[in-house]
Amino acid sequence: GAGVSQTPSNKVTEKGKYVELRCDPISGHTALYWYRQSLGQGPEFLIYFQGTGAADDSGLPNDRFFAVRPEGSVSTLKIQRTERGDSAVYLCASAPGGVVGETQYFGPGTRLLVL
């Protein structure tokens, strides 16, 4: 079956611009996660959705970052007034049901470069 997909695969933008990154989870997965990975580092948690609601957004670095999942499937990570420090790979993962310790399935990521 299809895995987690993310679009675009690469995004180049200018400082101050607005960007949207999209995640299509595995069909039927109710849990969805966003992570951010800087070069040479492990992924860092941003936000977790269970269904349509953000159950844990404690990893969002500031109020320029926002994510939605209006129908409990596709999610969009939105970054306002981008800064050069936002350059990273943004990873999305989904899991079947938000059960403790269940496996998370990752997409290939979106590589964001802010010039």
Partner 1 sequence: DAKTTQPNSMESNEEEPVHLPCNHSTISGTDYIHWYRQLPSQGPEYVIHGLTSNVNNRMASLAIAEDRKSSTLILHRATLRDAAVYYCILRDVGETSGSRLTFGEGTQLTVNP
Binding site residues, partner 1, CB under 8 A: 4, 31, 33, 35, 40-45, 48, 50, 55-56, 59, 91-93, 95, 97-101, 103-109
Q: How far is the CB of 83 from partner 1 (least distance, A)?
A: 23
d(CA 50, CA 80) in angstroms, rounded, equals 24
- CB of 99 or CB of 115, closer to partner 1: 99
- CB of 41 or CB of 52, closer to partner 1: 41
d(CA 14, CA 1) in angstroms, rounded, equals 36
Q: How far is the CB of 54 from partner 1 (least distance, A)?
A: 11
- CB of 16 or CB of 108, closer to partner 1: 108
Q: How far is the CB of 105 from partner 1 (least distance, A)?
A: 8
Distance of CA 4 to the CA centre of its chain: 11
- CB of 14 or CB of 53, closer to partner 1: 53
Q: How far is the CB of 63 from partner 1 (least distance, A)?
A: 20
DSSP of 15-56, one letter per residue?
TT--EEEEEEPPTT--EEEEEEE-TTS--EEEEEEETTEEEE
DSSP of 61-79, one letter per residue?
-STTEEEE-TTSS-EEEEE
